[in-house]
Amino acid sequence: MKRKWRKIKMKIGFLKIILAGIIFFSGTVFSDNKGAGVKISNTNVKITTEKAKQIIFSHSGVLRKEAKITKIMLNRENRKYFYIIEFFTKNKKYSYEIDADTGYILKYANKNRKSAENRRVFKGLFKEILGL
């Protein structure tokens, strides 16, 4: 009887080791790297990130101290380099694509943000309507 339990314990231990290995290697081999940044080296772009920031703030009319930059990326597509820059202020969210060689604005967009104050007012109205 003791031999049988010993064999079972050995098999369970062996299965634990195999399972741990499978989990470890599947996490490293099949990990999703969508969020990982790629460093582009030896790029000969004429516009620096600082100059790109000046361009977007000048175009949007937003003061630099009022903005919170959330993304600055140098991308390459069809042998052209461009910056993707996203930032927000108290009321709006902005998104820009700037040509890294010429400084031209390739694409831009802005949209209104729902501020915390607006959400509180809406929540208060909702409670008032429901009588909570």
pLDDT digits (tens, 9 = 90+) for 28-73: 444 443 444 555 555 688 999 999 999 999 999 999 999 999 999 9
Does any domain span residue 14? no
Cβ 59 vs Cβ 104: under 8 Å: no
Does any domain span residue 16? no
- pLDDT value, residue 117: 61
* E strand or H helix at 90: none
pTM of the model as a whole = 0.57
Cβ 111 vs Cβ 93: under 8 Å: yes
Expressed as residue numbers, the domain containing 89 is 49-118
Does any domain span residue 4? no
Give how far Cα 128 sits from Cα of 26, 114, 120, Å: 52, 20, 12
Which residues, at least 6 apart from 104, have a Cβ–Cβ distance to it below 8 Å? 98
- 3-class DSSP state for residue 77? strand
- pLDDT value, residue 101: 94
Does any domain span residue 132? no
Does any domain span residue 75? yes
Does any domain span residue 61? yes
CATH number at residue 113: 3.10.450.40
Does any domain span residue 66? yes
Does any domain span residue 114? yes
Give the chain's domain count: 1
